Amino acid sequence: MDEPTAPVKLLVADVDGTLLDPEKQLTERVRQSVLRVKESGVLFTIISARPPRAVQFLIDALEITEPLACFNGALICTPRYEVLSETLLEKDDASHVATMILDHGLDLWIFRGAEWFVSRLNGPHVEGHVKALGHGPRYLGPDYTMCRQANKLVGVSDNYAEVKRCEAEVLATCGPRISATRSADYYLDVTHRDANKGRAVEVLAAMLKVPLENVATIGDMPTDALMFAKTGISIAMGNASDEVKAAAKFKTTNNSEDGFAHAMEEIVLPRVAKAAGAQR
């Protein structure tokens, strides 16, 4: 509390590994902590690699009324899925990235609006994604030219080392034009360079007319480190890697220990109260 920080007016939270516990559940303590933050006058929204329909349960449970970012920022929409901002991959980059993902032995997922295509219907993590979305994917087949109209491409594999190697090659080949980061150890998310969480938090803050110094962000993956660099307060989850923790100003406990709620109680809310007291 001794470190001077601008008052928090907007809180932007990652979803998986942050708001949700390891079983992908929103605990009651975390839900209540979000509601307390909102009651204190702080605006709240979410930013996620997920498609919009996969966060509907959070929109409902957390009473989200502000714009939110999906596909790591490739799509910014209202809680009713009205598109406010959309950024697609360049066609040639999308084709090159899709080829590299498959050449590395990763499964290829393509997200295009509400559509979801996969190179293997029984591949890893498909079943879990079906539960999150409420519908299954379409089989991609040998023709993946539809990736040239994609919001996001994903390389998927439980070979974490190969996912990391693929990330390095994608960045080396298309780096200046794309954003390639791991939203989980088994997911390589690829979007347009302007469709990343760093850029998305700038857009959300501008839409809500909140200076970036008054924005707090919290997350657990390298995708989240991009928004940490932009905001006045940044918080890494205890389950984050050392690299992600080093990018944040503050750290909290694991998502298995309601680390998000702990961060609200110990970091965000005290600073809101302190700022309010200073204005009296």
Question: In the prediction, which pLDDT does 2 show?
Answer: 45
Question: In the prediction, which pLDDT does 273 show?
Answer: 65
Question: In the prediction, which pLDDT does 276 show?
Answer: 54
How many Cβ atoms from other residues are within 10 Å of residue 209's Cβ?
9
Mean pLDDT by 10 residues, the chain (280 residues): 71 97 96 97 95 92 97 93 90 93 97 88 93 86 81 96 97 90 91 91 97 97 94 97 97 98 96 60
Structure-token match 């709240």, residue found: 44
Both tokens assigned to 53: 């329909």
How many secondary structure helices (H) and strands (E) does the chain include?
A: 10, 14
* Spans of all domains in the chain: 10-86+196-279, 91-192
pTM of the model: 0.82
Question: In the prediction, which pLDDT does 4 show?
Answer: 52
Question: In the prediction, which pLDDT does 3 show?
Answer: 55
Tell me yes or no: is domain 91-192 CATH 3.30.479.30.
Answer: no
The string of DSSP codes covering 162-205 is HHHHHHHHHHHHHGGGEEEEEEETTEEEEEETT-SHHHHHHHHH
Question: In the prediction, which pLDDT does 214 show?
Answer: 95
Question: In the prediction, which pLDDT does 280 show?
Answer: 44
* Cα-based distances in Å from 46 to 29, 33, 50, 146, 175: 17, 14, 10, 28, 26
The CATH number for 10-86+196-279, chosen from 3.40.50.620, 1.10.10.1110, 3.30.420.40, 3.40.50.1000, is 3.40.50.1000
Question: In the prediction, which pLDDT does 129 show?
Answer: 87
